[in-house]
């Protein structure tokens, strides 16, 4: 009988292990088992301290090394993730401590801010958004993932999908600008690029939609500042790109630094458990931003470390970045009943399941040879050049000054930014190397004929003396054209880089004034991470090209465009104000009862400036010219659940091939709640040969026509206008009705 019981016990263990698993092998170590089942099995084997350890993310050194205390924590099973730790020597050594030295062998998840490339740096996200080309953004994210994976990373803190309508906020550079429709398309594309069909595959990483939520509306444009956003604005403006990222399968979300309507985002259970997990069905895990759990104390929500940990974890923040309140105070809070065991286990399960899905239990180490074979290959550099070319926006081209003749006699390249490698990369450039960047000066020299004389002077920036301006003017003497590089350095936008002024820093405007007085034509190239005040340039210079911070191949892309090898076709993803006094300014505003009218004294306008922007959303010129015609909307009336087809023709009416971004906007004329004067609901970037025309068709249904009213999402009966054109201003106009 005793032998029979022993055999039965062995049989039970074998059956529990499932087919293909050896007797006694834990379920969580079976690669054929479902990630959720593996996570549940592993959770049941963990101590309280190990559980809290999986919720801990700590930062390594910026150059990629771990901190010495990480080794001990990894051996104790108290380190779930790191940021900054990367490359095989560092990542593999720390991983070995976790996998081979800890009791349960749970691998560390290595993360890094791979925002617009890892080593091959693409245009900053705001510049990339000016491409209006989600497929190209997806390709760039895929390259970034492949490079990040080659150095041991499996998680990126991107894409940033915050809608931003205040250019004083430095982090506007990291997102897609002001529009929720464009932002949603790009958010989904970047998630697909980072993760592919399976983020556990080689060369793919977990994406992280950030910052949830409302961070881009920081009051006064001051980073980390509070936000006060209505439910309507949250649902219709700030939430949609996050919803698009979640629908695209984003594995993780990151909470924001800001206080939202009186409740800091890192303890906002309504948004985390209610909207994200409850309404949207998000199954991934949520990480706090850098020390934002501890910052609940400074916000005035938490009384102390333990209170902050309880409030964040109970709200649904699964992993704590850098601060260690979960690990240090969590066990005591759990024992005292201030923290729910169910909340703790739910968070640990989400983190573990993501690790199983990421494949790092089976493949915890990175091949040291992979990095050299993957980073900055010729193919990747070609894509970086294509991305930079498509991101450029031509703002002015009076009398067709551009493109320039490559055989021109003398070119004066003026401005410190024209020969600055670091400033081509922009903020958050991961492991990009300034030495790899092509400057504008180098690009110009490569684009002109051998007989062309190219001279350079750095001119005026911060701290420039009178003699610096004089040297620049002297260098421009006798030039057939002056190319003036102006704008911001890479560190003047990004996190903690808010500005109260949007003017050109230093003495750059004074330099432009002196260059204009030479009588030589001046083409200004603007390198920047945010909209700047460019009114003087628009009024006084014949040509202005918006280049953003265009990445490794940026200088070459700008030069090829200036000298006609490429034709600019980008469009602005954000409104450019005439002055900072207009901020916040955006195209999709609601109307007032007294719309702005310069002829009416009592209307919504300024007495000292135009109320109109300098450059509207969607604006951008080309060396080609395009004509729109034949707008048709059918049927003329639909039911709330129906769809209309919008079609029109775009023709290249010039002698030069070029790209155009056709845009479709709507206006709900009247309803139970007011809506914006225009809303983008469709776009397509297309290349047209001289004389070529193409008829485009867009379908607008409930997703495009609906609005989040109080009580839910709906398409309200009434009249709608449709606009089709090259920007958010003007264009063809038609109408249709939604019948009850």
DSSP per-residue letters across 622-645: -SS-EEEEEEEEESSEE-TT--EE
Give the C-alpha separation, 188 to 240, whole Å: 11
Which helix (DSSP H) or strand (DSSP E) does residue 703 occupy?
A: helix 702-705
Give the C-alpha separation, 716 to 702, whole Å: 10
Give the C-alpha separation, 519 to 668, whole Å: 50
Domains with residue ranges and CATH for the chain: 382-582 (3.40.50.1700), 626-738 (2.60.40.10)
Q: Report how far apart, in Å, the C-alpha atoms of 53 and of each of 27, 156, 207, 283 are.
A: 21, 20, 22, 21
| Phi–psi pair at 39, nearest 5 degrees | -65, -40
Dig out the tokens for 95 from the structure: 């991983």
Q: 367 an active-site residue? A: no
Q: How many CB atoms lie within 10 A of CB 363?
A: 14
- Those residues of the chain that have pLDDT short of 70 are 1-23
Give the C-alpha separation, 313 to 722, whole Å: 46
Give the C-alpha separation, 319 to 145, whole Å: 22
Which residue in the block uniquely carries the two structure tokens 């594995």? 251
Q: How many CB atoms lie within 10 A of CB 648?
A: 23
What is the structure's pLDDT at 16?
39
Dig out the tokens for 467 from the structure: 């003699």
Which residue in the block uniquely carries the two structure tokens 């775009």? 650
Q: Is 65 helix (H, G, I), strand (E, B) or coil?
A: coil
- pTM for this one? 0.96
Residue-wise DSSP of 95-146: HHHHHHHSSS-PPPEEEE--SS-SSS----HHHHHTT--HHHHHHHHHHHHH
Task: Identify the active-site residue in 179, 289, 305, 423.
Answer: 289
What is the structure's pLDDT at 23?
56
Strands (E), 131-279: 155-156, 208-212, 252-255, 259-260, 263-264
What is the structure's pLDDT at 24?
77
What is the structure's pLDDT at 21?
52
* DSSP state for residue 236 in the 8-state scheme: I
Give the C-alpha separation, 712 to 725, whole Å: 31
Q: Is 667 helix (H, G, I), strand (E, B) or coil?
A: strand
């Amino acid at each position: 009988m005793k032998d029979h019981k022993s055999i039965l016990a062995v049989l039970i263990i074998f059956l529990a292990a499932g087919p293909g698993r050896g007797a006694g092998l834990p379920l969580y170590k079976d690669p054929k088992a479902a990630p959720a089942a593996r996570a549940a099995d592993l959770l049941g084997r963990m101590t309280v301290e190990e559980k809290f350890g999986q919720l801990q993310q700590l930062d390594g050194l910026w150059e990629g090394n771990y901190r010495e205390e990480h080794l001990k924590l990894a051996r104790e099973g108290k380190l779930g993730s790191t940021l900054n730790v990367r490359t095989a020597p560092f990542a593999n050594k720390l991983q070995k401590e976790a996998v081979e030295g800890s009791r349960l062998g749970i691998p560390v998840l290595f993360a890094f801010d791979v925002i617009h490339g890892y080593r091959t740096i693409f245009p900053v996200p705001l510049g990339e958004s000016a491409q209006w080309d989600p497929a190209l953004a997806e390709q760039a994210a895929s390259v970034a993932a492949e490079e990040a994976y080659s150095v041991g990373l499996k998680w990126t803190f991107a894409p940033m999908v915050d809608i931003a309508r205040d250019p004083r906020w430095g982090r506007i550079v990291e997102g897609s600008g002001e529009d929720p429709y464009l932002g949603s398309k790009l958010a989904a594309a970047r998630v697909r690029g980072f993760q592919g069909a399976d983020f556990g595959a080689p060369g793919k990483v977990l994406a992280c939609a950030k910052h949830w939520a409302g961070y881009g509306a920081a009051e006064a444009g001051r980073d980390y500042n509070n936000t006060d956003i209505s439910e309507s604005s949250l649902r219709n403006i700030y939430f949609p790109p996050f919803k698009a990222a979640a629908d695209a399968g984003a594995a993780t979300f990151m909470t924001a630094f800001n206080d939202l309507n009186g409740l800091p985002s890192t303890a906002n259970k309504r948004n985390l458990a209610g909207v994200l997990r409850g309404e949207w069905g998000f199954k991934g895990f949520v990480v706090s931003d850098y020390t934002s759990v501890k910052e609940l104390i400074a916000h005035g929500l938490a009384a102390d470390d333990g209170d902050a940990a309880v409030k964040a974890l109970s709200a649904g923040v699964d992993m704590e970045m850098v601060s260690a309140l979960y690990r240090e105070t969590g066990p005591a809070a759990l024992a005292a009943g201030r923290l729910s065991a169910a909340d703790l286990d739910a968070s640990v399960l989400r983190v573990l399941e993501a690790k199983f899905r990421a494949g790092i239990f089976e493949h915890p180490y990175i091949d040291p040879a992979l990095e050299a074979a993957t980073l900055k290959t010729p193919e990747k550099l070609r894509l970086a050049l294509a991305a930079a070319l498509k991101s450029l926006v031509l703002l002015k081209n009076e009398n067709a000054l551009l493109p320039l003749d490559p055989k021109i006699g003398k070119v004066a390249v003026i401005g410190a930014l024209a020969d600055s490698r670091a400033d081509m990369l922009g903020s958050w450039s991961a492991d990009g190397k300034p030495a790899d960047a092509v400057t504008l000066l180098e690009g110009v020299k490569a684009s002109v004929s051998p007989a062309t004389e190219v001279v350079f002077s750095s001119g005026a920036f911060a701290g420039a003396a009178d003699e610096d301006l004089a040297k620049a003017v002297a260098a421009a003497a006798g030039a057939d054209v002056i190319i003036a590089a102006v704008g911001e350095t890479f560190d003047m936008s990004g996190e903690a880089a808010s500005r109260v002024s949007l003017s050109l820093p230093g003495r750059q405007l004074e330099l432009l004034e002196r260059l204009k007085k030479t009588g030589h034509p001046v083409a200004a190239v603007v390198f920047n991470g945010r909209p700047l005040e460019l009114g003087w340039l628009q009024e006084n210079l014949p040509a202005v090209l918006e280049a953003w911070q265009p990445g490794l191949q940026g200088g070459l892309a700008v030069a090829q465009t200036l000298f006609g090898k490429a034709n600019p076709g980008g469009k602005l993803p954000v409104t450019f104000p005439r002055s900072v006094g207009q901020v916040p300014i955006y195209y999709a505003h609601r109307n007032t009862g007294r719309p702005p009218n310069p002829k009416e004294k009592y209307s919504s306008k300024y007495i000292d400036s135009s109320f109109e922007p300098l450059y509207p959303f969607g604006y951008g010129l080309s060396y080609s010219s395009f004509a729109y015609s034949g707008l048709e909307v059918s049927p003329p009336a639909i039911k709330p659940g129906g769809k209309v087809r919008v079609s029109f023709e775009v023709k290249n009416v010039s002698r030069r091939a070029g790209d155009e971004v056709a845009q479709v906007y709507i206006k709900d004329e009247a309803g139970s709640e007011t809506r914006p004067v225009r809303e983008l609901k469709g776009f397509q970037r297309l290349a047209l040969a001289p004389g070529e025309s193409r008829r485009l068709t867009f379908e607008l249904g409930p997703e495009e026509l609906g609005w989040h009213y109080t009580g839910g999402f709906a398409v309200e009966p009434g009249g709608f206008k449709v606009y089709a054109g090259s920007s958010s201003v003007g264009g063809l106009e038609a109408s249709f009705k939604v019948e009850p």
